[in-house]
């Protein structure tokens, strides 16, 4: 999947449960794109930019009620005379057996506490991906019961798994309720981590930007640069470098953090 593609484009596909249960990822993969956009676009225009700590994350348990498996539909045939006939269905015909679906729910859904707001007013607690989790749980139950499900992507496409206790830099949209994610980066002490596998799997967690932004704020950092994009290849960058870029792109000074690392290094409350 090409993480350089910023718009979220989807092509709907009807997937029957037994086939979906094998891998849960419709093919071809190129039919489903999305995820985080360019860093400079998010830094410049996101209404809310915050540093947060995950205080609650979803576990692996599916709490949606089970769905009764559906019977195989009867087939209507047409005789040569044009009269429709429906073969009888035996009264004791067994219903399909519910099949387990291999999709790990752990890390989907998170509640964060605010560490520092870098742009825009922010609540003390931020909740993300819980509604996505509820949808996934319900659709998994339908798939297990043999109900055909209309999907556009993998059920968990572009939904990052969050680690309990970890800190993140969130770029959030407020144009609709609830808050929605534009981009996310994980922070760990004195590093903004750019190789977090859980985020990269959701097409998030990387630094992609305009070449001019790279030359202005990230010059010297290992990167692939072409005429359209600069993709940071270094495993991490200093928080101060990212904060300086956000400040410069927004044209608004960011209050210097008390800890000297924007609250990223201090793991205390």
Residue 64 CB burial class (10 angstroms; 0-12, 13-18, ≥19): middle
Name which residue leads in pLDDT, 156 or 100: 156
- Closest by Cα among 183, 188, 139 to 163: 188
Which fold does the domain 35-61+101-130+161-250 belong to in CATH?
OB fold (Dihydrolipoamide Acetyltransferase, E2P) (2.40.50)
For residues 233-257, average pLDDT? 89
User: What is the arithmetic mean of pLDDT over 158-176?
Assistant: 93
How confident is the model over 12-30, as a mean pLDDT? 33
Taking residue 218's Cβ as centre, other Cβ atoms within 10 Å add up to 22
Reported confidence tier of residue 43, pLDDT bands at 50, 70, 90: very high
Identify whether the C-beta of residue 172 lies closer than 8 Å to the C-beta of residue 180. Answer: yes
- In this prediction, residues 208-227 reach a mean pLDDT of 97
Cβ pair 159, 24 in contact under 8 A: no
Q: What integer pLDDT is reported at residue 84 of this predicted model? A: 52
Least confident piece of the model among 71-80, 197-206, 246-255 = 71-80
pLDDT computed for residue 186 by the predictor: 98
Mean pLDDT of the 87-112 span: 70
DSSP code of 140?
H
Model pLDDT, residue 177: 67
pLDDT band of 179, cuts 50, 70, 90: confident
Query: Where does the pLDDT of residue 147 fall: very low under 50, low under 70, confident under 90, or very high at 90 and above?
Result: confident
Is the per-residue pLDDT at 262 higher than 50? Answer: no
At residue 87, the pLDDT reads: 52
Mean pLDDT throughout 92-101? 52
Mean pLDDT of 43-52: 96
Q: CA–CA distance from 141 to each of 13, 22, 157 (Å)?
A: 19, 15, 18
**pLDDT value at position 254?**
74
pLDDT band at 134 (very low <50, low <70, confident <90, very high): very high
Q: What single DSSP character describes residue 51? A: E
Element (H, E) at 149: strand 149-151
Residue 74 or 125, more confident? 125
Is pLDDT at 203 greater than 60 in this prediction?
yes
Residue 150 has what pLDDT?
A: 77
Q: Which of 77, 10, 39 has the alpha carbon at shortest distance from 204?
A: 39
**Residue 255 or residue 204, greater confidence:** 204
pLDDT at 20 > cutoff 80: no
Which of 90-99, 188-197, 206-215 has the lowest average pLDDT?
90-99
């Amino acid at each position: 999947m090409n993480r350089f593609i910023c718009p979220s484009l989807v092509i709907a596909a009807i997937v029957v449960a037994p086939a979906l249960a094998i891998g849960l990822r419709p093919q071809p993969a190129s039919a489903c794109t999305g995820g985080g956009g360019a860093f400079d676009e998010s830094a410049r225009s996101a209404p809310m930019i915050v540093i947060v700590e995950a205080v609650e994350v979803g576990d692996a348990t599916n709490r949606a009620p089970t769905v009764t498996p559906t019977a195989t539909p009867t087939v209507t045939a047409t005789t040569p005379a044009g009269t429709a006939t429906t073969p009888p269905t035996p009264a004791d015909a067994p219903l399909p057996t519910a099949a387990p679906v291999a999709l790990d729910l752990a890390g989907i859904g998170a509640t964060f506490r605010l560490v520092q707001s870098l742009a825009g007013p922010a609540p003390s607690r931020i909740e993300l991906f819980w509604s996505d989790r509820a949808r996934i749980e319900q659709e998994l139950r339908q798939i297990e019961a043999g109900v055909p499900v209309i999907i556009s992507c993998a059920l968990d496409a572009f939904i990052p798994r969050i680690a309990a206790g970890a800190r993140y830099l969130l770029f959030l949209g407020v144009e609709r309720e609830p808050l929605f994610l534009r981009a996310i980066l994980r922070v760990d002490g004195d590093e903004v981590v750019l190789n977090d596998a859980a985020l990269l799997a959701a097409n998030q967690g990387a630094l992609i930007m305009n070449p001019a932004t790279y030359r202005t704020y990230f010059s010297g950092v290992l990167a692939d640069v072409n005429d359209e994009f600069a993709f940071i290849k270094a495993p991490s960058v200093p928080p101060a470098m990212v904060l300086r870029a956000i400040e410069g792109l927004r044209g608004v000074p960011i209050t210097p953090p008390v800890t000297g690392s924007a609250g990223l290094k201090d793991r205390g409350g």
